[in-house]
Amino acid sequence: MATFSPTIRVAINRLKFRYPFRIAHGVRDGTDVVLIKIAVDEHFGLGEATLPPYLPWKAQDVLKLLEKTKITFELKNNQPIWNVSNDLVLECPPAAAAIDMAVWQCAASLTKQTLHDWLGLGKHQVPHTFTIGISDAAEMNDKIHFGIAHGFTHFKLKMDGQNDRQVVENYKHITHHPFAVDANQAWIEGKESNAFAKDLEQKGCLLIEQPFHRSNHPGHHALCKHLTIPVIGDESIQGWEDLQCFGSHYTGVNIKLQKCGGITPALAMLTLAKSLNHYVLIGCMSESSIGCGAGEAVALGAQMADLDGPWLISNDQEIKEHALAL
């Protein structure tokens, strides 16, 4: 069995949002990103570690971590098995995700296949949501029409637990496209949130993502019993271990490559989620088309994809060109 020792190039860049991105965690105009390119002869793969400010890792630290990392990989059982010289990479899931997606793409090239074909999860299309950060009615209108103009038929409404009913009212006034909501832990468990969730269900909401604090697994479980639409764990379910321990408290899960560490652990989570009969959403940290492209390959095994990062940012082409030039 051949062992490959690819060359590695890394660099820092910044994703720039088209609009200030407002969620319950706060507002930001961009996100630091560390890009990676690995290559074996003419075969290469790209990856990115996307680092929103609420995460503990800084771009310079991740850059230094990746610069001193040596990677080898083998092809076994129709997937790449990779090893690194520094265990710290495994303690930083975005860094691990950057390496993993780059290795998978390089390995797919070595086998003369596309990543989608190699994963073999199918060719069916799943609904894709376009995220509407917390906005007034005028900004929401602009964002919705931008999403529609770029082919989106489903939307995700961010909520902060303050004016959420008005958010839904504004949305329904603008469009009748299907929608989901994401509270990013902003709701408080109780009769009021139960009533609002039931109202959302009656208004045609497709799913409710992470309404309560990440540690409030019993509260999410109680809400699941109150609704027929999925209650999705996002911040509550970071990786495979969380899904195994707490998955029964939810009826769905948002699997993100940046959270769990890449394509390899995402596939394991997808298998476990299916065994739990979960509704599976493949999400993103608003990364570029590098990270979201890797997510797209996994999304073929899900029910919905929230991989709108390339449209939320204004410099996607610049990011791709920077990575390719490494």
Of 40-54, 75-89, 155-169, 280-294, where does mean pLDDT reach its minimum? 75-89
Of 7-11, 90-94, 178-182, where does mean pLDDT reach its minimum? 90-94
Cα 47 to Cα 10, 80, 220, 255, 277: the distances in Å are 9, 15, 33, 17, 30
CA distance 75 to 301: 22
Closest to 210 (Cα-Cα) out of 31, 57, 24, 26: 24
**Residue 323: per-residue pLDDT:** 98
Q: How many CB atoms are closer than 10 A to CB 78?
A: 10
Contacts with 274 (C-beta within 8 Å, 6 or more apart), sequence order: 280, 301
* SS3 state of residue 270: helix
Residue 124 has pLDDT above 80, yes or no: no
Residue 215 has pLDDT above 90, yes or no: yes
CA distance 174 to 115: 38
Burial class from Cβ neighbours inside 10 Å (0-12, 13-18, 19+) for residue 12 reads: middle
Of 87-101, 118-132, 219-233, where does mean pLDDT reach its minimum? 118-132
Positive or negative: CA dihedral 294, 296, 300, 304: positive
Global pTM? 0.96
**Residue 186: per-residue pLDDT:** 97
**Please, which pLDDT band fits residue 36 given cuts at 50, 70 and 90?**
very high
Element (H, E) at 141: helix 137-149
Could you give the domains of the chain?
A: 3-118+318-325 (3.30.390.10), 122-313 (3.20.20.120)
Q: How many CA atoms lie within 13 A of 252 on its CB side?
A: 26
Element (H, E) at 180: strand 179-182
Residue 22 has pLDDT above 90, yes or no: no
Q: In the sheet where 43-51 sits, what is the strand order?
A: 7-23, 26-40, 43-51
**Please, which pLDDT band fits residue 310 given cuts at 50, 70 and 90?**
very high
The DSSP bridge partners found for residue 232 are: 209, 252
Residue 23 has pLDDT above 90, yes or no: no
